A and B are shown apart, each in its own frame.
Chain A
Amino acid sequence: MNQAPVLSSAKVSAHSESHINRKFGFWLFLSSELLIFCGLIGGFLVTKHYAATWPTQQQLSLWLASLNTFLLLTSSLTVVLGIENIQTNKQRSLALFLLVSALLGFLFLCGQAYEYQHLIFTEKFGFGDPFGTAFFILTGLHGLHVFVGVLWAITVALRARRGTYSSTNYTTVEMFGLYWHFVDLVWILIFTIVYLI
């Protein structure tokens, strides 16, 4: 009679440990990602120091980068609001907020694509010069992260609509949130270093 609750409690404990392990693993992953971006930002600054030519802020479309920054900041807010909604079991609201985040991420990518074509075809910067190499690798890798985040947001939103998550089961949503905020955090640094300084 007494064995069932004991086993159940043990299972709960094991699952809880699994959740904590997953989260810890995800934080380790984000830390390693931060080091990768740190290396690329360092490379960008060194390249800028030694480069003979470097584009001005007008050539870099500061207004567009600022707009993109607001898009990512807003998308981070919608992710936070989505997670708050699933904590009160509002699955449809979670799906809606995540789809808005995905849309904002997609708009960010459109802005980045426009910026790339402007730099390559109008300003004539490419992979052949120091600026182009440093800039496209750094912002391109970040853009790739946004792209993955958009796909992940859509996937989580679709699963939320099917009722996969609840107020007691949203670890995956939380992981996605961490990833998306991390992408936002990295952009905050890139925006200042690449476009403002």
Chain B
Amino acid sequence: MQQSIDTHAGNAIAHTHARTNPVLVYAILAIFTLLEVTITVTGGLPRQTLIPLLLAISFVKASLVALYYMHLRYEKAIYGIVFIIPAAFAVFLITVLLSG
């Protein structure tokens, strides 16, 4: 009984907000993925434009997963901070290596 009470108290923190429809998030992720593949396969864009564009789409997709599927948008700020620091490092490293 105590177990039930405890987890409810914890989960309540994360689940009191109105959530974004997960199917909508999935549809956006799928559209972005199709867009990425189409842009790459058609090959109409120069590499200087293609790489930043693909990276931007990828980062947007990853952010959508973190914010809406991992619920970072609704969670305590500390979880976000803990995750955003290495994520920012990852973005920085990938951007620097690809621009070199």
Interface of chain B residues 23 through 60 with chain A (CB within 8 A): 23, 25-26, 29-30, 33, 36-37, 40-41, 50-51, 54-55, 57-58
> Is there an interface contact between B69 and A80, defined as CB atoms closer than 8 Å?
yes
Docked Cα-Cα span, A34 to B37, in Å, equals: 24
The answer, yes or no, to whether B98 is at the interface (CB within 8 Å) is yes
> Is there an interface contact between B9 and A16, defined as CB atoms closer than 8 Å?
yes
> Is there an interface contact between A192 and B30, defined as CB atoms closer than 8 Å?
no
- Which of A31, A81, A174 has the most B CB atoms < 10 Å from its CB? A31
> Is there an interface contact between B5 and A24, defined as CB atoms closer than 8 Å?
no
1/0 per residue, CB under 8 A from A, across B55-68: the answer is 10110011001100
> Is there an interface contact between B82 and A73, defined as CB atoms closer than 8 Å?
no
The answer, yes or no, to whether A166 is at the interface (CB within 8 Å) is yes
Decide: A181 near B69, CB < 8 A? Known: A23-B79, A196-B54.
Answer: yes
Docked Cα-Cα span, A28 to B79, in Å, equals: 8
Summarize B's interface: helix, strand, loop or mixed: helix
Docked Cα-Cα span, A118 to B70, in Å, equals: 34
Docked Cα-Cα span, A70 to B32, in Å, equals: 11
Interface of chain A residues 161 through 197 with chain B (CB within 8 A): 166-171, 174, 177-178, 181-182, 184-185, 188-189, 191-193, 196-197
Of the listed stretches A40-48, A102-110, A134-142, name the one at the interface; the rest are far from the partner chain.
Answer: A40-48
Decide: A15 near B9, CB < 8 A? Known: A24-B82, A76-B65.
Answer: yes
> Is there an interface contact between A38 and B89, defined as CB atoms closer than 8 Å?
yes
> Is there an interface contact between B11 and A27, defined as CB atoms closer than 8 Å?
no
Number of interface residues of A (CB under 8 A): 60
Q: Which of these, B36, B40, B65, B97, contacts A46 with CB under 8 Å?
A: B97
Interface of chain A residues 42 through 94 with chain B (CB within 8 A): 42, 45-46, 49, 57, 62, 66, 69-70, 73-74, 76-77, 79-81, 84, 87
Distance (whole angstroms) from the CB of B85 to the closest CB of chain A: 7
Docked Cα-Cα span, A27 to B76, in Å, equals: 11
Decide: A189 near B58, CB < 8 A? Known: A31-B82, A31-B83.
Answer: yes
> Is there an interface contact between B37 and A41, defined as CB atoms closer than 8 Å?
no
Q: Which residues of A contact B41 (CB under 8 A)?
A: 62
Docked Cα-Cα span, A23 to B74, in Å, equals: 14
Decide: A192 near B6, CB < 8 A? Known: A24-B78, A77-B22.
Answer: no
The answer, yes or no, to whether A35 is at the interface (CB within 8 Å) is yes
Beta-carbon nearest neighbor of B47 in chain A: A197
The answer, yes or no, to whether A19 is at the interface (CB within 8 Å) is yes
> Is there an interface contact between B4 and A168, defined as CB atoms closer than 8 Å?
yes
Interface of chain A residues 1 through 43 with chain B (CB within 8 A): 8, 11-16, 18-20, 23-24, 27-28, 30-32, 34-35, 37-38, 41-42
Q: Which of these, B30, B55, B94, contacts A73 with CB under 8 Å?
A: B30
